[in-house]
Amino acid sequence: DVVLTQTPPTLSATIGQSVSISCRSSQSLLQSNGNTYLHWLVKRPGQSPQLLIYSVSRLESGVPNRFSGSGSGTDFTLKISGVEAEDLGVYYCVQGSHAPWTFGGGTKLELK
């Protein structure tokens, strides 16, 4: 199975600060069709997970553009340009390039 390693496990930020989360895969997520199925979700307390970024860098409809994704192959990054209070939660990367789908361990974003 593909192992996704997220760093850091915990992130403390002030409002307005820009932060990045890394997601490294144990194998390339680039499929032969040219697609890379690496997505980013956030799980806020008491809520269902929410899709933020799909296919590495595509912003889901309705998600603020302070969220951005980048990367290729085995290394991927989620960036939040200017953290807001509502961004607190646990961020997960998830891959669907290779069955079974697997999640990263999560990165908890806290306010400093």
Partner 1 sequence: EVLLQQSGAELVRPGSSVKISCKASGYNLTDHYMHWVKQRPEQGLVWIGRINPANGNTVYAEKFKNKATLTADKSSNTAYMQLSSLTSEDTATYFCTRSGYFDYWGQGVTVTVSS
Stretch that binds partner 1, among 11-19, 23-31, 49-57, 72-80 (CB under 8 A): 49-57
Contacts with partner 1: how many residues (CB under 8 A)?
24
What DSSP string describes 20-79? Answer: EEEEEESS--B-TTS-B-EEEEEE-TTS--EEEEETTTEEPTT--TTEEEEEETTEEEEE
Label residue 48 exposed, middle or buried (CB < 10 Å: 0-12, 13-18, 19+). Answer: exposed
In the complex, the smallest distance separating the C-beta of residue 17 from partner 1, rounded to whole angstroms, is 24
Mask for 88-107, x = binds partner 1 (CB under 8 A): --x-x-x-x--xxxxxxxx-
Residues 51-70 touching partner 1, rule: CB under 8 A, are 51, 54-55, 60
Nearer to partner 1 by Cβ, of 94 and 109: the residue is 94
Nearest alpha carbon to residue 40 among 27, 61, 23: 23
Nearer to partner 1 by Cβ, of 17 and 106: the residue is 106
The verdict on 41 binding partner 1 (CB under 8 A) reads yes
